[in-house]
Amino acid sequence: MIFDTHAHYYDGAFDPDRDELLAALPSMGVALVLCPGCDLESSRASIALAEKFGYLYAAVGFHPENLEGASLDQLDQVRTMSAHPKVKAIGEIGLDYYWVKTPEARAFSRDFFDAQLSLAEELDLPAVVHDRDAHRDCLDIVRAHPGCRGVFHCYSGSVEDAKVLLDRGWMLSFTGNITFANARRGPEVVKFMPMDRLMLETDAPYMAPEPFRGKRCDSTMIRLTAERVAEWKGLSAEEVLDITLENGERFFGID
């Protein structure tokens, strides 16, 4: 059974058939899904989906690409939403230096990331971290929060950075991009790391694995990613799915 630990089912790509797809996923082998928000609106939408579908859970927070017009005092609303019983994490939070270009915007995103990790510490919730082209600053801010636990989703860092995070008790999660022909770092890290610290995700509707690269992704496609992990770890795909399901349940505190 599949645990998709990161899927954005509120995204407009699912508007034509969202309810039909989400109603059908359990019959296609999907046991659990975590849907992270990117701002207040999408965080509320994640909670609404979690209320409607029992196997779906939510995370709440501000993505670094969604900070235009945001203010730190809006984290009070994130704190309020986090009290919902279906909310299992603060996320998707972090840094993105690919899209966030100016020094001022990057500094603001660092302040926001720091504040959201503080919130996760305060609430004793894990953090779901987005890191794109900002490895050094992400690690520095994580180091400043020794009481915080979390996962780097769609992990794209080096084996050396992975060691730092694993030594701190963090998890790493991987999408279908590790199946791409040009994938290098992801496979290296997967081969290196212990299975009890690894989770799988889609980042749906993005990051569909081969042979569906570029198409709309959904949680059933994790099986293809699990098959690739299984090759590298000397396991069966079913074993990979079972282990990552247990890892996700433990990490997010889902019975």
Predicted pLDDT at 255: 86
- Phi and psi at 215, nearest 5°, equal -95, 170
Residues 22-76 have pLDDT tens digits of 999 999 999 999 999 999 999 999 999 999 999 999 999 999 999 999 999 999 9
Global confidence as pTM: 0.96
- pLDDT for 205 equals 98
Q: Which residues of the chain have pLDDT under 70?
A: none
Residue written as token pair 């894990």 = 126
Nearest CA among 114, 144, 108 for reference residue 129: 114
